[in-house]
Amino acid sequence: MKKYLSLFRIRFIHGLQYRAAAWAGVSTQFAWGSMTILMFWAFYQNSGNRFPMTFHQLSTYIWLQQAFLSLFMSWYFDNDIFESIIRGHVAYELCRPVDIYTMWFLKNMSVRLSRAVLRCMPILIAAVFLPKPFSVSPPADLTGALMFFVSISLGFLLMVAFSMLIYITAFTTISPLGIRILAVSTLEFFTGAIIPLPFFPEGLQKIMAILPFAYMQSTPFLIYIGSIMGPDILIGVLLQMIWLLMLILTGRTLMKKALKKVVIQGG
């Protein structure tokens, strides 16, 4: 366990060094969040009161989405991992006294988390001082605030666990580009990254509720704004735990099978 914690710490500290990139990301995400909110504002102003959440709740949802983008960005994949598989450098990893799945899992966690640490607070602080209803609001209640932190941690782990499945597919494909494009498109749509899930038709929401994607970023953000309350919070967190366990077990099983058949060419 000590070696894995050391790896996590080294990668986390390494990620904190990119301060200029973080400030560039903050400005980009703040601008993108502002444009998204203004786009929805136009719909709200011209479509009556037929929306599943108030505009202030929607603004909060979008600012949370931008603040914690690094935790849930579907397009981020560690190219070093793909290169190590495609070029055969994974042979060096197999020689080390470590579990590859755990090592790659922690590596992805540390990179995403270090970026989020640098970017989340500036975005949230700036959003707090915006005029209502364009600002970010506090949690619905104390229970919602506490469960938000539990849920967002589980959602973060879910995203990493799903990303691990994409890395593992590189063992059986010539190029991982196709599966990466498919995975990003699926995640962007089904996680609520483009449009919050409550805005979808009820029939489609029922389908999304049985998939793991809704429990990545949508569930914690909906808990924060009060769209999910009471017993539904516990149900959502429980489903997050179940999906996390299933994805990790699936990933470990697929990794074990892939490593049994992997062939490294050359000297």
Cα(132)–Cα(88) distance, integer angstroms:
54
Q: Judge whether residue 35 has pLDDT over 90.
A: yes
pLDDT at 114 over 80: yes
| pLDDT confidence bin for 219, thresholds 50/70/90 | very high
On the question of pLDDT at 266 being above 60, the answer is no
Give percent above pLDDT 90 in the chain. 40
Indicate whether 46 pLDDT > 70.
Answer: yes
DSSP 89: T
Kindly state the average pLDDT of the residues 186-211.
90
For residue 264, the model assigns a pLDDT of 63
For residue 263, how many other CB atoms are within 10 A of its CB?
5
Confidence label for 88 from pLDDT (cuts 50, 70 and 90):
confident
The domain limits of the chain are 2-261
Separation of CA 77 from chain center: 12
What is the tens place of the pLDDT at every residue in 247-256? 999 999 999 8
Q: How many CB atoms lie within 10 A of CB 74?
A: 23
pLDDT at res. 48? 66
Residues 254, 257, 260, 265, CA torsion sign: negative
Instruction: Please tell me whether the peptide bond between 133 and the residue prior to it is cis, using omega within 30 degrees of 0.
Output: yes
pLDDT of residue 146: 92
- Residue 22, token pair as written in the block: 């973080």
Residue 267: predicted pLDDT: 45
Per-residue pLDDT at 246: 96
